[in-house]
Amino acid sequence: MPLNDSHNAPGYVCGRLIAAYELIVNRTGQELPLNDLTLSATNPAYVLPRLRARQVQKALARMRRQNPGGTARVEDYIADLAARLDDFPKRLDSEQGAQYILGEAHQKGAGLPF
């Protein structure tokens, strides 16, 4: 199933964000810690801002030196995703967790606008 850019359920958007973060960090030859990836599926309010402040910011800084225009597109893309949420959910129930898994898979399949 392709990426559904009009689907703004919090679980789906959080799944897309973690997938985008993972794609960004992987682009620089790094990986996000497995425990952060696992915990983000149940507690996005704790994990997503922390990842953004640490590993993702470092990866974006490295990417910016090599491809400023591509990095700007990715940063705008991430900002658009984050703007779809009023706040990061503290906990995802089972339905939101399923939406999270779909959003993550769809985003990984679609990639990012590098």
Q: If you search the block for the tokens 């990639």, which residue do you land on?
A: 111
Task: Look at residue 77 in the predicted model and tell me its pLDDT.
Answer: 97
How far is Cα 33 from Cα 89, in angstroms, rounded to an integer?
21
**Which residues are CB-contacts of 69 (< 8 A; sequence separation ≥ 6)?**
none
Helix 10-27 to helix 94-110 angle (10° resolution) is 40
Q: pLDDT tens for residues 21-48?
A: 999 999 999 999 988 889 999 999 999 9
* Residues whose CB falls within 8 Å of the CB of residue 8, separated by 6 or more in sequence, listed in order: 84
pLDDT for residue 110? 97
Mean pLDDT rounded to a whole number for the chain: 95
d(CA 68, CA 60): 10
